[in-house]
Amino acid sequence: MPTVSETYFENRWRVQPNHANNYGTVHGGNVMKWMDELGAMSAMRAAGEPCVTASIDQMDFHRPVPTGDTVVIEAFAHETGRTSIKIQLTAARENPRTGEQELTTESQFVFVAIDQSGRPVEVPDLTVESERCRELREQALAFENGD
């Protein structure tokens, strides 16, 4: 069984002019796409199978990310169903020169594991074996509860 921390992924994207809107900040759709891509990697690690996006439970945009800054996205699985995996995602704006970060976006995506024919398949339960696993799961539950 995979652990919560084994499903943790982090990636960075530099906001280029072609990612920006007319206000000089990243399009929300680009952030959503990047979150979806990283979330799918986390879900596949949890399931051990290909996964597809089933739903986006909630997406909160707190502040913009200007062109030239970096978007840092973190993803991890924190709950499984019979065929589904719930992924907690956060995005932060990062100053590429200083590394200073500020939370910009939070969301939870649900992915479904599929077989070669595209039919849902069962996924293993997640285990919480370390303090890091507990911290990640608590972070996800706090988001779900609006804390």
The DSSP string of 52-121 is EEEEEEEEEE-S--BTTSEEEEEEEEEEE-SSEEEEEEEEEEE-TTT--EEEEEEEEEEEEEB-TTS-B-
Element (H, E) at 32: helix 28-47
CATH number at residue 127: 3.10.129.10
| Contact predicate 46/79, CB 8 Å | no
Strand duo 84-94 + 70-80: pairing: antiparallel
When pLDDT is averaged across residues 98-116 and rounded to a whole number, the result is 96
Can you tell me which residue has the tokens 């952030």? 31
Q: Has residue 146 got a pLDDT over 80?
A: no
- In terms of Cα–Cα distance, which of 111, 90, 110 is closest to 101? 90
What is the structure's pLDDT at 69?
97
What is the structure's pLDDT at 147?
66
Strand duo 9-14 + 70-80: pairing: antiparallel
Backbone CA torsion sign across 128, 129, 132, 135 = positive
- Count of domains observed in the chain: 1
Q: Which domain holds residue 136?
A: 5-144
Q: Has residue 66 got a pLDDT over 90?
A: yes
- 14-43 pLDDT tens trace: 999 999 999 999 999 999 999 999 999 999
Rounded to 5 degrees, φ, ψ at 131 are -60, -40
